[in-house]
A = this chain, B = another copy of it.
Amino acid sequence: MNDQIKYLLQESDIPTTWYNLAADLRNPPAPVLHPATHEPITPADLLPIFPENIIAQEVSTEREIEIPGPVREIYKQWRPSPLFRARRLEKALDTPARIYYKYEGVSPAGSHKPNSAIAQAYYNKVAGVKRLVTETGAGQWGSSLAMACNFFGLACEVYMVRVSYNQKPYRRAIMETFGAKVTASPSPTTEAGRALLAKNPESSGSLGMAISEAVEVAAKDPDTKYALGSVLNHVLLHQTVIGKEAALQMKLAEDEPDIVIACTGGGSNFGGMAFPFIGEVLRGERQPLRIVAVEPEACPSLTRGRYAYDYGDTAHLAPITKMHTLGSTFVPPGFHAGGLRYHGMAPLVSQVVEEGLAEATTVAQLESFAAGVQFARAEGIVPAPESNHAIAAGIREALKCKEEGISRAILINVSGHGHFDMMAYLDFIGGKLQNYAYPEEEIAMALAGLPNVGDV
């Protein structure tokens, strides 16, 4: 029996280009609108918050976009990331399924986020920017950008969603170790933050609020730009190194995935894994396969949100995009997968689900942690709470294989490790975690506030 567990690529196998799904989609992405005028946004509108090179990438329809040399050099520190066959998990589940997982937790910051953080820091450096400001939920993005800014000599400022700031002091610590300035959001340091605090001084924050604060800070200082860790096209683009490598590694394993699974909050981890596979399907180079986006039960934009134009942030400073949304004022309950607490979804991810190229499902908090503990005991890796959503969905599929007596190849994207989320694991083991119901009323209220953009 071939009992190989790791499929390792060479440095020369690190992709030399990112894959741009926009080149292969049958329908062009819906135009992005200005938050004030509701008119299609122009590159010039975006200049206060993004440098020109990133704006160009955001709207590019080129299929393959070259990864700059200095970015690829830094990728080499941890890429190609390993693809594992989860043989011990298969045994624990007693399933005929062939479970593979791509593990992005080997990056120094512990998740897939540096794939884009390094690229964004590089482009900003090239454009002469001095400081980057961003938001972070779980802290995976914030710590990645803090690290990347160091590498390129940029200052870094992070607005961290308050519930995560309180739940995850170690995440703040790693950002500060990297020299970043970290502020709990909503904060009194911005107009947006002060307005939110005036409405609710106890606000636990949300990604939407933190984005508002960060965008405001960037827009006010010509030497400062904003960096976003998900949602936008260029961010998902940078993450496609994951799926590109995984496709190569599945070939090394002499196998092909029947199901590809990733968690999705803003969509960068899902898009990074799924888009290269979807692209191959669209170009007729691969048989159609199931691609599954997994979101938390309590923040289910893809499965229960509306596909509509909505604001990207709470204070309506960020562009309006067409996406699955729960309403920009919706504040998700304080579950532990902070990276999945966003009201919207990447427009490109929304579009592939809308066009039937991918499906979506939800997992509740307790099922996600049970899956994480089972995975940790079998594989030795303690996954991030976000990743646990993908693992839970993967376990469901593996058990279905057992029930049906069918062996399918399941490829799971494990976005990162949970080293900074161990209190959540302790609470889960101690029976202190709960499920959060679908917040029906809050979402209905938030959806009532969708912008009236007319006929675009």
| Cβ–Cβ contact B147 & A76, under 8 A | no
Q: How far is the CB of A80 from chain B (nearest CB, A)?
A: 10
List the B side residues contacting A425 at CB < 8 Å: 173-174, 176-177
| Cβ–Cβ contact B170 & A423, under 8 A | yes
Q: How far is the CB of A107 from chain B (nearest CB, A)?
A: 8
| Cβ–Cβ contact B151 & A419, under 8 A | no
- Residues 401-426 of A, flagged 1 when their CB comes within 8 A of B and 0 if not, give 00000000000000001011011011
| Cβ–Cβ contact A382 & B8, under 8 A | no
Q: How far is the CB of A420 from chain B (nearest CB, A)?
A: 7
Residue of B nearest to A79 (CB): B6
Interface window among A241-249, A309-317, A344-352, A371-379: A371-379
Of the residues B10, B76, B170, B429, contact of A170 by C-beta under 8 Å? B170
| Cβ–Cβ contact B147 & A108, under 8 A | no
| A15 touches B (CB below 8 Å) | no
| Cβ–Cβ contact A422 & B173, under 8 A | yes
| A73 touches B (CB below 8 Å) | yes
| A254 touches B (CB below 8 Å) | no
- Residues 1-35 of A, flagged 1 when their CB comes within 8 A of B and 0 if not, give 00111101011000000000000000000000000
Q: Would A84 and B77 be within 8 Å (CB), given that A8-B11, A170-B423, A380-B150 are in contact?
A: yes
Residue of B nearest to A430 (CB): B176
| A399 touches B (CB below 8 Å) | no
| Cβ–Cβ contact B173 & A88, under 8 A | no
List the B side residues contacting A8 at CB < 8 Å: 10-11
C-alpha gap A8/B110 in the complex (Å): 20
Q: How far is the CB of A166 from chain B (nearest CB, A)?
A: 14
C-alpha gap A252/B420 in the complex (Å): 35
Q: How far is the CB of A122 from chain B (nearest CB, A)?
A: 14
C-alpha gap A325/B234 in the complex (Å): 58
List the B side residues contacting A88 at CB < 8 Å: 151
Q: How far is the CB of A147 from chain B (nearest CB, A)?
A: 5
List the B side residues contacting A419 at CB < 8 Å: 110, 170, 174, 417, 419-420
| Cβ–Cβ contact B426 & A108, under 8 A | no
Instruction: Name A26-48 residues within 8 Å CB distance of B.
Output: none
Q: Would A422 and B174 be within 8 Å (CB), given that A380-B109, A380-B147 are in contact?
A: yes
| Cβ–Cβ contact B6 & A76, under 8 A | yes
C-alpha gap A376/B381 in the complex (Å): 22
Q: Would A423 and B169 be within 8 Å (CB), given that A380-B109, A381-B108 are in contact?
A: yes
Q: How far is the CB of A150 from chain B (nearest CB, A)?
A: 5
| Cβ–Cβ contact B73 & A378, under 8 A | no
List the B side residues contacting A114 at CB < 8 Å: 380
- Which of A108, A109, A422 has the most chain B CB atoms closer than 10 A to its own CB? A422
Q: Would A423 and B173 be within 8 Å (CB), given that A6-B76, A380-B108, A380-B147 are in contact?
A: yes
| A179 touches B (CB below 8 Å) | yes
Q: How far is the CB of A221 from chain B (nearest CB, A)?
A: 23
| A178 touches B (CB below 8 Å) | yes
C-alpha gap A169/B427 in the complex (Å): 12
| A106 touches B (CB below 8 Å) | yes
C-alpha gap A11/B82 in the complex (Å): 12
| Cβ–Cβ contact A77 & B422, under 8 A | no
Closest 10 CB pairs of A and B: A173-B422, A108-B380, A419-B419, A170-B422, A173-B426, A177-B425, A147-B380, A108-B381, A150-B377, A177-B376
* Beyond A174-B419, A177-B373, A177-B382, 13 additional pairs, beta carbon < 8 A: A3-B73, A6-B76, A8-B11, A151-B380, A173-B422, A173-B429, A174-B382, A177-B376, A177-B377, A177-B425, A417-B419, A419-B420, A420-B422
26 A-B residue pairs with CB within 8 Å: A3-B73, A6-B76, A6-B77, A8-B10, A77-B84, A88-B151, A108-B382, A147-B380, A169-B422, A169-B423, A170-B419, A170-B420, A172-B426, A173-B422, A173-B423, A173-B425, A173-B426, A174-B382, A176-B425, A176-B429, A177-B377, A177-B425, A177-B429, A417-B419, A419-B419, A419-B420
Residues of A at under 8 Å CB distance from B? 3-6, 8, 10-11, 73, 76-77, 84, 88, 106, 108-110, 114, 147, 150-151, 169-170, 172-174, 176-179, 373, 376-382, 417, 419-420, 422-423, 425-426, 429
